Amino acid sequence: MKRGEKPSPGRYPIGQGEAELLRDPDRDNGWVINVQGVPQSYVDLDDPTHLAFEYMRLLGDVVDRLKDGPLDAVHIGGAGCTLARYVAATRPGSRQVVYELDGRLVELVREHLPLKQFQNLKIRVADGGKGVPGMPDASDDLLVLDAFSGAEMPVALASAEFTAQAARVLRDDGVYLANVADGNGLGFARRLAATVAEAFPHTLLLGDPGVLRGRRFGNLILAGSRAPLPVSELTRVSAGRPLPARCLDTEELARFSAGHRPIRDGEPIAAPVPPPAVFGRS
């Protein structure tokens, strides 16, 4: 895309089938990427700090409360690279790597939602589950797992084995963030919470109260660290949002996941998918 040109809305073939690029009618340069009918990313090309999706705002809230200054960050799952853009804008000088398995989706984003202005932000067309084990120990401040194939999270990335690798590459005060989608009973989210708690002594969960009560399908944010997490600040900020969220601390999260085992590689377990009505699908 040439300077001054606008992205072109439409449908584009990608590795997962088809992506749709939609203009936000309420913001001049806001764009949504749908994959298989599921909204995957929202990008505002004029304001990378605008996080339209509520779960992404929760991720941003955690990032805002990490240590001051630039961050070394790894993102597993890219799509529009919304959070990576946010980190680049709010933490100048940050070094970031985004793993995105779908090469044609990366081409779409590079052509229509350019990233060239963000220095030290690299996209690797690769499986993050295979890339992270090759990274050095204690090399990063932040590792974000936000990977979906359509509406389904790859279970291999939810495993205790992958989470242990994530913990290995983080520094002592580094933070692991995982976006998980779940609904009735929250069985998968409870097992993932147990998985994160096995790898990190300090954990928290952020989510819509209705989702936490199992009243509807939605996104929950899990965090883990070797260092204490900013629970009190996140509790206050999340409760004050237009769409309030709850924050569960380490002890509350232990009760949330009580009786649920960590997820292990090779288990015959499927990640939950939303009911068709959630995204207007039939």
Domain residues for the domain of 242 are 51-264
223 located within any domain: yes
Alpha carbon distance 257, 90 (integer Å): 33
pTM over 0.85: yes
Q: Give the pLDDT confidence of 21-63 residue by residue, as tens digits.
A: 999 999 999 999 998 888 999 999 999 999 999 999 999 999 9
The per-residue b/e assignment along 5-39, b for 16 or more CB within 10 angstroms, e otherwise, is eebeeeebebbbeebbbbeeeeeeebbbbbbbebb
20 located within any domain: no
238 located within any domain: yes
Q: Looking at residue 280, what is its pLDDT?
A: 46
Q: Looking at residue 8, what is its pLDDT?
A: 86
* Pairing of the two strands 202-207 and 246-248: antiparallel
Burial of 200 (0-12, 13-18, 19+ CB in 10 A): buried
12 located within any domain: no
> What CATH number should be reported for the domain holding residue 132?
3.40.50.150
Q: Give the pLDDT confidence of 156-178 residue by residue, as tens digits.
A: 999 999 999 999 999 999 999 99
254 located within any domain: yes
274 located within any domain: no
DSSP per-residue letters across 144-195: EE---BTTB--GGGGSHHHHHHHHHHEEEEEEEEEEEEE-GGGHHHHHHHHH
28 located within any domain: no
62 located within any domain: yes
End-to-end CA distance of the chain, in Å? Answer: 34
Hey, what amino acid is at 40? Q
Torsion of CA 195, 196, 200, 204, to 10 degrees: -140
Q: Looking at residue 2, what is its pLDDT?
A: 55
In the sheet with 121-124, reading across from the earlier edge strand, the strands are 121-124, 95-99, 72-76, 140-145, 170-182, 218-225, 202-207, 246-248
Sign of CA dihedral 257, 263, 269, 275: positive
Q: Looking at residue 277, what is its pLDDT?
A: 57
The tally of domains found in the chain comes to 1
For the chain, which residues score pLDDT lower than 70?
1-5, 150, 276-282
